[in-house]
Amino acid sequence: MTLKSVDVILKRLAERPAELAAARAAGAKVVGFQGYSLPEELIHALGLIPLRIGLGGSDRLVELGGRYISTKNCVYVRETVGLFADDTDPYINNSDIFAFDATCLQTFRTAEVVQYYFKKNVLIVGVPRNFYLEEAETYFTAELRHFVSRLEEFAGAKLSFEKLADSIALYDQIRDEILAIYEYQATARPLISWEEVFDVIQAGYVLDRRDYLGLLQALHDELAAGQGAAVIAGADDEARIFISGSVIPPGDKKLISIIDQLGGRVVGDDLWSGLIPYVEVDIKEPTIAAVAWAYLHRTPHGALPYLDLATDGRIARLKSLIGKFKANGVIYHTLRYCDPYTFKAKETKDILENIGIPLLELHTEYAGSDVEAIRTRVEAFIEMIKLKTETGVAA
Ligand code: SF4
């Protein structure tokens, strides 16, 4: 049974395209964006409506996008381009300007293609390759200042200290609510599954951010009031799965459905499209420099090169989240031509195996042709984890 507050979130999601069209007709301006290092707070503080764009799971849109961008790009990037070519996505069609960052260079390429072929107004934020150098902070702060100045021209308004402080406070509250709900789903008798929380997080990509905070608070209250009343169907604590790797955007249900159908219980993730953007974002004051610092000091994205595994923040975060959510196996999902995450699969597997956490690597795309092969491998992995949990020894 779906929770009442989750039903309300899904209903608000269905209403959102019409609401956006009405807001634009009344003069509001919308920024469609894609990228891990794009601080939404800056867009929001200028009175603009931020929408995180992009879908997955459609072979048709991937094929369409592949007519404009090389087929050696990942399917997520090709589907994003396909969305522009298709010209029916309500969030793309309701955006007045687009912002992309260069965290993943394929996203940067998407921006160029969108600008060239579809004549969209596009802003690009440069991202340093090594976040830990002093120069990286100087460079990224300058990039964000430039980004804000372009948005100010577009908005016809100046970024103020007070408005930025309000937006940061709002986003801090959203992050706190998401973290609380997320931690709750991993407990022993939750009323909400990880899959539902994942959908709730992704609903937040397009909903009005102040409304979204209220919806999250209502969900949090409903969970607190009903604690212990029931358990989610099929919740099986013997195979607690953590998902890592390439993005799983809205619309891509292939892997999640297979795990669910096979009785695995997902309890955590470190996906760009899941929990990770909300973890430990510490904006110390309402200035562009402080926003830049906070975004550089979050968990690093897998697309950024980092050679010293002993001090790699991505690996450290992965290990700490696996421990926190008591996962006993990792499914590491990579999209074909997602080179950043594919190259990191082996090192991630080796590191986790050293601490007794098995990792299953699945390399896939949006076509349905490999569903049965994935099902067989996930089934064997879940069985192995269950056996290990029951007996305490590796199968
Ligand atoms: S990180 Fe991978 S999945 Fe994400 S945009 Fe880049 S290539 Fe695609």
Considering only CA atoms, which residue is closest to atom 6 of ligand 1? 104
Asked if residue 395 has pLDDT above 70, the reply is no
Residues with CB under 6 A from ligand 1: 74, 76-77, 104, 106-107, 246-247, 303, 335, 338, 340-341
Between 235 and 324, the higher pLDDT residue: 324
According to the model, what pLDDT value does residue 81 have? 98
Region 181-206: what's the mean pLDDT? Answer: 96
- How many percent of the chain have pLDDT more than 70? 96
According to the model, what pLDDT value does residue 229 have? 57
Which atom of ligand 1 is the closest one to the Cα of 302? 1
Token pair for 281: 């974002």
Q: Name the band, by pLDDT with cuts 50, 70 and 90, for residue 131.
A: confident
According to the model, what pLDDT value does residue 233 have? 47
Q: Compute the distance from residue 283 Cα to the ligand 1 centre, in Å.
A: 26
Between 387 and 389, the higher pLDDT residue: 387
According to the model, what pLDDT value does residue 227 have? 65
CB 263 within 8 A of CB 233: no
Pocket test for ligand 1, best of 52, 69, 70, 77 (most atoms within 8 A of CB): 77
Q: Compute the distance from residue 340 Cα to the ligand 1 centre, in Å.
A: 7
Q: How far is CA 269 from CA 74, 195, 275, in A?
A: 20, 11, 6
143-169 confidence digits (pLDDT tens): 999 999 999 999 999 999 999 999 999
Asked if residue 185 has pLDDT above 50, the reply is yes
Pocket test for ligand 1, best of 106, 110, 248 (most atoms within 8 A of CB): 106
100-126 confidence digits (pLDDT tens): 999 999 999 999 999 999 999 999 999
308-325 confidence digits (pLDDT tens): 889 999 999 999 999 999
- How many percent of the chain have pLDDT more than 90? 90
78-100 confidence digits (pLDDT tens): 999 999 999 999 999 999 999 99
According to the model, what pLDDT value does residue 232 have? 53
Asked if residue 235 has pLDDT above 70, the reply is no
Q: Compute the distance from residue 107 Cα to the ligand 1 centre, in Å.
A: 7
According to the model, what pLDDT value does residue 345 have? 96
Asked if residue 237 has pLDDT above 80, the reply is no
Asked if residue 356 has pLDDT above 50, the reply is yes
Domain spans of the chain, in order of start = 28-159, 165-190+233-391
Q: Compute the distance from residue 72 Cα to the ligand 1 centre, in Å.
A: 12
Q: Compute the distance from residue 247 Cα to the ligand 1 centre, in Å.
A: 7
Which residues partner with 122 through β-bridges?
Answer: 98
262-285 confidence digits (pLDDT tens): 989 999 999 999 999 999 999 999
Report the DSSP pairing between strands 240-245 and 30-34: unpaired
Q: Give the DSSP letter of residue 368.
A: G
> Hey, what CATH topology would domain 165-190+233-391 get?
Rossmann fold (3.40.50)
CATH class of 28-159: alpha beta
Token pair for 138: 């100087």
Asked if residue 208 has pLDDT above 60, the reply is yes
Q: How far is CA 212 from the centre of its chain?
A: 16
Q: CA 7, 53, 73, 349 torsion: positive or negative?
A: negative
According to the model, what pLDDT value does residue 368 have? 87
pTM for the full predicted model: 0.95
Equal fold, 28-159 vs 165-190+233-391? yes
Q: Compute the distance from residue 282 Cα to the ligand 1 centre, in Å.
A: 25
Asked if residue 189 has pLDDT above 90, the reply is no
Region 328-333: what's the mean pLDDT? Answer: 97
- Reading phi first (left if > 0) and then psi (alpha if -120 to 50, else beta), residue 189 is in beta
